[in-house]
């Protein structure tokens, strides 16, 4: 970033205010420093950057775009209210994702206590399709895959679900996932191993048509 | 690019995560691989979990919503701060008044250890103070802790036995009592011969 000065007392780079274009060139960390200095335009720039990935993540966790929107709004609000707590040793994404995933987990728990049972997705698939037609259908309807994931993910613990989503779907590194979820990398690997195992078992038991025939014959305990 | 051997890739996934990542990139761009990869690892069906697209209007709405939430939250916390400050002063005054009354009475009681009547018969209970000949309310309109008022108050009107006892620290010398107000609780250590 071009226009950067240093506070004499903290030796921390600070943005010089001239702004929108400069903010667009600032790194996420510089934006968070500016937010820590009560810069609302920096918050707007961060919203500009992070709305899409956070909304996608929240939507994948919650399977509801309206609730996901609420969670993302609360994430930005909390980020602003706790702006003085940002520790520059953290990667910005880690901090932001951590707030979002914690809110999403809390929301999942409160939702779970409201509705103990969900209608199984199976009911929607009881049409008289043969295997092949079902397989084609499975490839066509991504929305169904999403609904199936949420049905099967009910078998996972919150940590397993979160680790699976962050690592396997969002593609974050194990170290980053560990920081977000608040555990060690070895624990992340453990959660991931168990999540895969449970999901694999449940897919084969409930939705075998989504798995190509060869593996169904071998189905069972492979990890 | 040739398709990877998914069986061996999967079996080495934890040992060679980089090779697995390269395999996944290939999976994302290769339709021929799909069935073979899914046959080995069915959870890959969740790799392309759909998510809503986000347009410029969505981002603008998000900025607006966050700004509204931020302002209302700041307004609420400002109100809470001023309400708290407004409540704090009278509470502190009340607590100070209770403490001063208790200590003032203790000072007037005299110095003789063991002079406190322990059988309770001679003690006028605190709850009856309002009905006593010298009601506490009377002092509210005057300077409550002037020498005249304090000496006018019956020394027997307040005793350590009338205050909620937390702990007898030493049966011969002192006890800990607690005076609870609406918002503050005051713990006092008093000599038993108050």
Locate the domains of chain A by residue range.
Answer: 1-116, 120-223
Q: What percent of chain B clears pLDDT 90, i.e. is strictly above it?
A: 7
B56 contact A CB<8A: no
Q: According to the 3-state scheme, what is the secondary structure of chain B? A: CCCCCHHHHHHCCCCCHHHHHHHHHHHHHCCCHHHHHHHHCHHHHHCCCCCCCCCHHHHHHHHHHHHHHHHHHHHHHHHHHHHHHHHHHHHHHHHHHHHHHHHHHHHHCCCCCCCCCCCCCCCCCHHHHHHCCCCHHHHHHCCCCCHHHHHHCCHHHCCHHHCCEEEEEECCCEEEEEEECCCCEEEEEEECCC
Residue B65: its chain A contacts at CB < 8 A? 73
- pLDDT band with cut points at 50, 70 and 90 for residue B133: very low
B43 contact A CB<8A: yes
- CATH fold of A120-223 reads Arc Repressor Mutant, subunit A (1.10.10)
**For the segment B172-183, what is each residue's pLDDT rounded down to a tens digit?**
666 666 666 656
CA B163 to chain centre: 26
User: Cβ(B42)–Cβ(A216) under 8 Å?
Assistant: no
Q: Note the pLDDT of residue B185.
A: 65
* Cβ <8 Å between A72 and B62: yes
* Cβ <8 Å between A210 and B42: yes
Q: Note the pLDDT of residue B12.
A: 87
User: Cβ(B122)–Cβ(B156) under 8 Å?
Assistant: yes
Q: Look at B70 and B193; give whichever has higher pLDDT.
A: B70
Q: Note the pLDDT of residue A124.
A: 47
What's the half-sphere exposure (Cβ side, CA atoms, 13 Å) at A60?
25
Rg (Cα) of chain B, in Å, rounded?
38
- Cα separation of A100 and B179, whole Å? 45
Q: How close does chain A come to B184, measured CA to CA in Å?
A: 29
Overall average pLDDT of the B57-77 stretch: 89
Q: Look at A168 and A142; give whichever has higher pLDDT.
A: A168
Residue A74 has pLDDT above 70, yes or no: yes
Residue B135 has pLDDT above 90, yes or no: no
- Provide the Cα torsion A128, A131, A135, A136; round to 10°: -70
pTM summary value: 0.60
Please report the ipTM that was assigned to this predicted complex. Answer: 0.72
- pLDDT band with cut points at 50, 70 and 90 for residue B108: low
Residue A51: its chain B contacts at CB < 8 A? 54, 58-59, 62
**For the segment B20-45, what is each residue's pLDDT rounded down to a tens digit?**
888 988 888 888 888 888 888 999 98
Burial class (CB in 10 A: 0-12, 13-18, 19+), B162: middle
Overall average pLDDT of the A61-69 stretch: 90
Residue B68 has pLDDT above 60, yes or no: yes
Q: Look at B96 and A7; give whichever has higher pLDDT.
A: B96
A1-116 matches A120-223 in fold: no
Overall average pLDDT of the A68-79 stretch: 95
Q: Note the pLDDT of residue B160.
A: 58
**For the segment A103-121, what is each residue's pLDDT rounded down to a tens digit?**
999 998 888 766 654 445 4
Residue B41: its chain A contacts at CB < 8 A? 196, 200
Find, among A113, A195, A193, the residue nearest to A153 by Cα: A195
**For the segment B42-62, what is each residue's pLDDT rounded down to a tens digit?**
999 888 787 777 888 999 999
Q: For all residues of chain B together, what is the average pLDDT?
A: 69
CATH architecture of A1-116: Orthogonal Bundle (1.10)
Residues sharing a CB contact under 8 Å with residue A122, sequence separation 6 or more, in sequence order: A206, A207
Q: Note the pLDDT of residue B153.
A: 46
- Cα separation of B141 and B147, whole Å? 15
Overall average pLDDT of the A161-175 stretch: 91
Q: Note the pLDDT of residue A166.
A: 94
């Amino acid at each position: 970033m071009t226009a950067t000065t240093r506070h004499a007392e903290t030796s921390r780079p600070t943005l010089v205010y001239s702004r929108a274009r400069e903010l667009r060139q600032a790194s996420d960390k510089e934006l968070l420093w500016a937010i820590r200095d009560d810069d609302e335009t920096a918050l707007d720039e961060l919203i500009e950057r992070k709305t899409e990935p956070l909304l996608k993540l929240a939507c994948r966790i919650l399977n509801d775009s309206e609730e996901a929107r609420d969670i993302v709004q609360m994430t930005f609000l909390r980020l602003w209210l706790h702006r003085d707590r940002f520790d520059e040793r953290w990667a910005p994404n880690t901090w932001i994702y951590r707030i979002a995933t914690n809110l999403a987990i809390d929301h999942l728990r409160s939702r779970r206590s409201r509705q103990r049972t969900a209608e199984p997705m199976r009911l929607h698939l009881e049409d008289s399709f043969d295997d092949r037609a079902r397989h084609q259908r499975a490839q066509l309807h991504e929305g169904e895959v999403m609904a199936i994931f949420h049905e099967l993910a009910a078998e996972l613990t919150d940590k397993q679900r979160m680790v699976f989503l962050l690592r396997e779907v969002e593609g974050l590194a194990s170290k980053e996932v560990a920081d977000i979820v608040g555990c060690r990398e070895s624990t992340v690997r453990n959660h991931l191993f168990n999540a895969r195992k449970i999901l694999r078992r449940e897919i084969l038991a409930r939705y075998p048509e989504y798995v190509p025939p060869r593996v169904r014959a071998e189905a069972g305990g492979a990890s | 690019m040739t398709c990877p051997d998914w069986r061996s890739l999967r079996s080495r996934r934890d040992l060679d995560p980089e090779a697995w990542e390269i395999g996944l990139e290939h999976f994302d761009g290769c339709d021929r691989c799909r069935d073979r990869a899914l046959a080995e690892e069915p959870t890959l069906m969740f790799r392309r979990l759909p998510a809503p697209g986000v347009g410029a209007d969505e981002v603008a709405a998000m900025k607006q919503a966050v700004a509204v939430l931020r302002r209302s939250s700041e307004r609420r916390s400002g109100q809470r701060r001023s309400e708290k400050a407004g409540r704090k002063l009278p509470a502190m005054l009340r607590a100070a008044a209770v403490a001063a009354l208790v200590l003032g009475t203790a000072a007037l009681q005299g110095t003789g250890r063991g002079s406190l009547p322990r059988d309770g018969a001679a003690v006028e209970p605190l709850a009856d103070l309002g009905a006593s000949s010298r009601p506490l309310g009377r002092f509210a309109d005057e300077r409550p802790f002037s020498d005249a008022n304090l000496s006018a108050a019956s020394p027997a009107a307040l005793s350590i036995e009338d205050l909620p006892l937390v702990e007898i620290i030493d049966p011969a010398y002192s006890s800990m009592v607690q005076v609870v107000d609406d918002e503050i609780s005051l713990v006092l250590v008093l000599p038993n011969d108050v």
